[in-house]
């Protein structure tokens, strides 16, 4: 804990820095004065400031104690030396014997060889690295926690100075990229489907212009406590439904967000920062920067996504401090541009004016993404550097279908995009008219269209989309969005709510598919080199059956007196399915012995997601009541191509004749065994791929709710038998070994895919793909 005496010294240092900044001297002389004052206060013989250049190298900009001729001469490559290590990890480095550290890099022009004690901290602005601040001593000194705290506070002040332009001239900052004024098309990541057009509103809450150093530390501490209390009240009100003008998203999302607002570690760091002499606003900024730098370096996807919630809380706290603009009231036709936003921040925006959201970061599984999809708000994420490319009011076109953003379009591009918006609106109206119409092909085959879901927020779309049931309910979402293991009663209530919403429509619950990229924060796990092929799903569940049994009890109790349709994920061997099935029936027997009600009927199915189970399918179908093809995993394993890696995933077409033969094998075996089979995953929700699946004999697809309209329209124009006959020709020799590629039949087939053949056929037949 920092002592009162230390606080006083550190506050004096912050006051000295403010006085130096107020002088009229040249930029370099003021910078020299700053490092000299830091060295004196921390009783260091050297203090140096390195700033990051556009190529990620680090240049010495000022020093007290090293050779002054090295300033603007000494440059370290990205990642080089101790400075590079601090920059790479964005964490302080405190060394008693710096020259003995393996990362140490000696530059003779600085004459730093006699110095052993070393303390360096990153200079961060909004989580972005601007430079590194270092102090050194000749003796083998280990710097105290108070020294580290003081240097971190000073580095924050320097970050504001450097980024504001108060210290460095325009000439010295000439390498900083200026905002372009021309039109640009920027690629991104599809997070929420839709098209949006409007004027840019820049959501940059990190750019706070309040004083950094506290004039009255006691008053700042009181301001912080008041703002924290207001923050808690506002989050509680949002959770309870007050002030949430946009309706009720899943309570799971807001429950997790609410827990972050009461995180004691986060609040303690804020209080320590104000106690060290920073203003309340600067304290929030500093702690935000620390979290951001550390979470972004984490490989755990859950930790990276939870950063967004912490950032949103920091923004809300700054708003309660009066440091940033309140954007709950937006201008007309607003397209919000943000680095990231949390679920609460998104819910508080004026939805009537918000047309789309674009994020520099963002993830399809983040809390905000889940809320955005529930609100049907177009969202594109991972558009790098967008905030620096835009000015408020710039026209922005957001294409959530393709994952692209066009900024400052010319009139022709904007007109064409508005036409797409109109056409999309008309298509949605047409899909609404088809909602209650059965999906029957022209030759009389009924295709069952079910929807995928995972949260309460998805349930209204069951009625709105016209889905015939829920073909895949992903139960793991409840676990992933909670900061604790959901109690059996919580799980049971969710499952009952799902069944009540579905009414007489069937619901298939998939047991928790955890592991891989879906890691629970409250369950210990080991890092794996290849998590997609590692300890996940049923492998984890069967090795540690307690969690699965816990869930099975909730499912059995929730479906008492009803039908329980349950399936197990990532089955690789017959033994895995047998063990999982035995666990289920053991729990049913247990509840029967205790006199509790059980389901009136039970159907047990298996996901088909591994090539291994495809070639054991005939035996699996002897005990499985139904199967569902998990096409996403199955295709990535079939092609040995990570579906998240665009460099390999886009090399292979799922309409390749090899993968189609595998799918035909599955359909044929299920038909022979008289077992229902469905297909879920991305390919089932895309018109071209869905048409081929139907031609292969699949008659049930489980798709995102937004895909049901387009898929149904395609089905109503499709002749299943006619396309099936064509497909046999394109694949080679019909039902034979298929070694030909259709060339002998005069069919065009590029790289083993039937896609071009299908597109030509669709155009000829008027099939809407």
End-to-end CA distance of the chain: 65
What is the Cα–Cα distance from 505 to 494, expressed in whole angstroms?
17
What is the Cα–Cα distance from 530 to 645, expressed in whole angstroms?
13
Residue 470 sits at φ, ψ, to 5 deg, of -110, 105
What is the Cα–Cα distance from 80 to 106, expressed in whole angstroms?
10
- CA dist 521 → 140, 294, 542 (Å): 40, 16, 20
Q: Which listed residue (406, 670, 680, 687) is catalytic?
A: 680
The answer to whether 692 and 660 are in contact (CB under 8 A) is yes
Helix (H), strand (E), coil (C) string for 25-85:
CCHHHHHHHHHHHHHHHCCCCEEEEEEECCCCCEEEEEEECCCHHHCCCCEECCCCHHHHH
DSSP state at residue 213: B
- CA dist 556 → 470, 509, 589 (Å): 18, 11, 11
The answer to whether 563 and 603 are in contact (CB under 8 A) is yes
What is the Cα–Cα distance from 768 to 132, expressed in whole angstroms?
58
What H or E segment, with its residue span, contains residue 62?
strand 58-64
Our answer to whether residue 680 is catalytic in this structure is yes
For tokens 């270092």, name the residue.
Answer: 134
- Which tokens sit at 419? 């036409």
E strands present in 265-339:
334-338
Q: Which listed residue (107, 367, 406, 687) is catalytic?
A: 367
Q: How far is CA 44 from the centre of its chain?
A: 43
Helix (H), strand (E), coil (C) string for 653-679:
CCCEHHHHHHHHHHHHHHHHHCCCEEE
Buried residues in 320-337 as b, exposed as e (16+ CB within 10 A): bbebbeebeebeebbbbb
- CA dist 324 → 201, 210, 414 (Å): 14, 9, 32
Q: How far is CA 763 from the centre of its chain?
A: 37
Identify any residues that bridge with 623 across adjacent strands, giving them in sequence order. none
- Which tokens sit at 585? 């029936």
The answer to whether 415 and 421 are in contact (CB under 8 A) is no
- Which tokens sit at 440? 């029957």
- Which tokens sit at 711? 């898929």
Our answer to whether residue 209 is catalytic in this structure is no
Q: What is the largest CA-CA distance in the chain?
A: 89
Beta-carbon count within 10 A of 588 CB: 18
Size (the chain), residues: 769
What is the Cα–Cα distance from 601 to 444, expressed in whole angstroms?
30
What one-character-per-residue DSSP string does 238-260 give?
HHTTTT-TT----HHHHHHHHHH
What is the Cα–Cα distance from 686 to 214, expressed in whole angstroms?
57
Q: Which residues are catalytic?
A: 367, 680
């Amino acid at each position: 804990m920092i002592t009162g005496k230390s606080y006083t010294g550190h506050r004096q240092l912050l006051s000295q820095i403010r006085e130096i900044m107020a002088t009229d001297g040249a930029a370099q002389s003021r910078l020299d004065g700053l490092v000299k004052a830091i060295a004196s206060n921390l009783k260091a013989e050297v203090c140096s400031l390195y700033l990051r250049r556009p190529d990620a190298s680090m240049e010495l900009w000022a020093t007290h104690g090293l050779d002054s001729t090295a300033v603007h001469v000494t440059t370290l490559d990205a990642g080089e030396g101790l400075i590079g290590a601090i920059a790479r990890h964005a964490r302080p480095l405190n060394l008693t014997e710096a020259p003995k550290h393996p990362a140490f890099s000696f530059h003779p022009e600085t004459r730093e060889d006699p110095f052993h004690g070393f303390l360096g901290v990153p200079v961060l602005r909004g989580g972005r690295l601007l430079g590194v601040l270092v102090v050194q001593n000749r003796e083998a000194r280990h710097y105290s926690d108070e020294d580290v705290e003081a240097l971190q506070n000073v580095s924050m002040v320097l970050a504001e100075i450097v980024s504001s332009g108060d210290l460095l001239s325009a000439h010295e900052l000439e390498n900083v990229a200026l905002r372009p004024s021309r039109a640009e098309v920027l690629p991104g990541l599809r997070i929420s489907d839709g098209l949006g057009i409007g004027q840019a509103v820049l959501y940059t809450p990190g750019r706070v212009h309040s004083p950094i150093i506290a004039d009255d530390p006691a008053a700042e501490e009181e301001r912080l406590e008041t703002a924290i209390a207001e923050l808690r009240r506002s989050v509680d009100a949002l959770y309870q439904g007050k002030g949430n003008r946009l309706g009720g998203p899943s309570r799971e999302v807001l429950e997790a967000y609410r827990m972050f607002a009461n995180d004691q570690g986060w609040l303690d760091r804020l209080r320590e920062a104000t106690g060290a002499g920073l203003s309340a606003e600067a304290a929030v900024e500093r702690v935000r920067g620390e979290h951001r730098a550390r979470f972004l370096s984490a490989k755990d996807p859950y930790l990276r996504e939870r950063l967004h919630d912490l950032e949103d809380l920091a923004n809300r706290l700054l708003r309660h401090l009066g440091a940033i603009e309140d954007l709950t009231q937006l201008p007309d036709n607003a397209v919000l541009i943000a680095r990231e936003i949390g679920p609460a921040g998104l819910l508080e925006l004026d939805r009537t004016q918000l047309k789309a959201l674009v994020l520099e970061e963002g993830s399809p599984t983040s809390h905000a993404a889940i809320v955005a999809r529930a609100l049907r708000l177009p969202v594109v994420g991972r558009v790098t550097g967008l905030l620096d490319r835009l000015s408020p009011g710039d026209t922005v076109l957001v294409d959530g279908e393709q994952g692209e953003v066009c900024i400052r379009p010319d009139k022709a591009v904007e007109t064409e995009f508005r036409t797409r918006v109109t056409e999309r609106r008309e298509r949605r109206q047409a899909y609404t008219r088809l909602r209650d119409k059965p999906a029957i092909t022209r030759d009389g085959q009924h295709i069952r269209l079910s929807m995928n879901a995972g949260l309460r927020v998805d349930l209204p779309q069951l009625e709105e989309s016209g889905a015939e049931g829920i073909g895949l309910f992903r139960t793991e979402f409840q676990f992933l969005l909670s900061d604790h293991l959901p109690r059996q009663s919580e799980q049971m209530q969710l499952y009952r709510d799902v069944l009540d919403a579905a009414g007489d429509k069937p619901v298939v619950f998939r047991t928790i598919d955890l592991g891989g990229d879906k890691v629970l924060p409250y369950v210990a796990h080991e890092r794996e080199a290849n998590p997609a092929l590692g300890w996940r799903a049923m492998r984890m569940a069967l090795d540690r059956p307690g969690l699965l049994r816990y869930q099975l009890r909730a499912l059995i109790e929730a479906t008492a007196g009803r039908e329980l349709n349950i399936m197990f994920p990532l089955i690789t061997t017959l033994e895995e399915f047998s063990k999982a099935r035995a666990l289920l029936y053991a729990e049913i027997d247990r509840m029967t012995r205790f006199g509790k009600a059980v389901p009136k009927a039970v159907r047990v199915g298996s996901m088909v997601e591994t090539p291994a189970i495809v070639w054991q399918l005939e035996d699996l179908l002897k005990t499985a009541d139904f199967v569902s093809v998990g096409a996403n995993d199955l295709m990535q394993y079939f092609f040995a191509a990570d579906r998240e890696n665009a460099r390999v995933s886009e090399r292979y077409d799922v309409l390749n004749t090899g993968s189609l033969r595998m799918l035909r094998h599955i359909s044929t075996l299920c038909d022979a065994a008289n077992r229902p089979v469905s297909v879920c995953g991305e390919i089932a929700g895309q018109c071209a791929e869905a048409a081929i699946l139907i031609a292969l004999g699949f008659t049930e697809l489980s798709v995102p709710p937004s895909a049901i309209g387009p898929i149904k329209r395609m089905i109503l124009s499709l002749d299943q038998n006619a396309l099936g006959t064509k497909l046999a020709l394109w694949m080679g020799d019909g039902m034979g070994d298929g070694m030909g590629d259709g060339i002998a039949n005069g069919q065009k087939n590029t790289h083993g895919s039937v896609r071009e053949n299908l597109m030509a056929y669709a155009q000829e037949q008027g099939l809407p793909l």
